[in-house]
Structure 1
């Protein structure tokens, strides 16, 4: 998408990212309670360098958070998408796709062999996006979460970077 740019987050993105996170929060994609207004966006192990952000027309409209599935050295060849958010007004404009592609490219360029993620079973739009970008379902944990009174599957997805 020509007017979307992707870059690594900077410390001064803290407040815009926190606002975005609060604005888009939903049990459609989150298993944790809604972020509180005073909660910092960046935290230990997930600082600015762990985030790629999308700007559309110079305005921050999305992010992808990257990390590791575990702290084990034997698992250090795998990168994990640990969060993805797109502002409501930017949805349907290719921002999420650009962020996923940038995450995959960054992981590949970093020498990682695989990239994985977890997505809620009822989040059909996110699952379709990931599948269209080469991720496959590698496992399902049925009823893993209870959200708003309903049991929701945790879908494990991944793809090779080789």
Structure 2
């Protein structure tokens, strides 16, 4: 996508199997040490969707360009934090990426709000996420969307030559 072209958020929708290539490319392009605990992906690339990450767990933010073309601007993975029945009332954001050309246009906020709505639709009482302590921009966005810090695992990851906290955040989905 061209950064010089004007794009606007069109909608947030469930992912479809045919989104695999575009979402895989978006995921690799959005990789950053601010949020990744795994090394930068290298070819040959693993499939974006697999048995543990099916299309049904993803929400896709579509943007529309000046000529009417539609392209994924971001995605969010919404899953269960554990397979336990006693934890079935919780949904967890397990991945969020926004294309570079779509940043600062409300895409992440739209995906978070769609995840909240989908969690409520599924009957979940809580929505949680984990964010690296040094990712201050993401933490500020999550706080602006109603998430609060519920715990910190100090120095949980050793990234780029230093220890980084794992920050646990959550919010109620009650109206």
Normalised by the length of structure 1, the TM-score is 0.96
- Equivalent in 14, 39, 43 of residue 46 of structure 2: 39
Q: Is the 8 A contact 1:78 1:112 kept in 2?
A: yes
1:139 aligns with 2:168: no
Aligned residues between the structures = 161
Summarize deviations over 1:130-161 as a string: whole Å, max 9, x none. 10010000000000001111110000000001
Matched with 1:149 is 161
- Asked if residue 126 in structure 1 is aligned to residue 138 in structure 2, the reply is yes
Give the equivalent residue in structure 1 for 2:56.
49
- Bigger Cα Rg: 2
Structure 1 distance, partners of 2:40, 2:167, is 21
Partner of 2:67: none
Distance 2:132 2:9 in 1: 30
1:23 matched to 2:35? no
Structure 1: stretches of 5+ with no match in the other structure: none
Determine the C-alpha separation between the residues in 1 that align with 2:95 and 2:79: 9
Cα deviation, residue 24, structure 1: 0.8
Deviations 1:90-120 (A, max 9, x none): 0000000000000000001110000000000
Name the Cα RMSD after superposition. 1.0
| Residue in structure 2 matched with residue 9 of structure 1 by the alignment | 15
For the 8 Å contact 1:4–1:95, the answer to whether it is kept is no
Q: CA deviation at 1:46?
A: 1.5
Cα separation, 1, equivalents of 2:81 and 2:46: 23
TM-score by length of 2: 0.89
Consecutive unaligned residues in structure 2, runs of 5 or more: 1-7, 65-69
Match of 1:75 in 2: 87
State how far apart, in whole Å, the 2-side matches of 1:135 and 1:43 are: 29
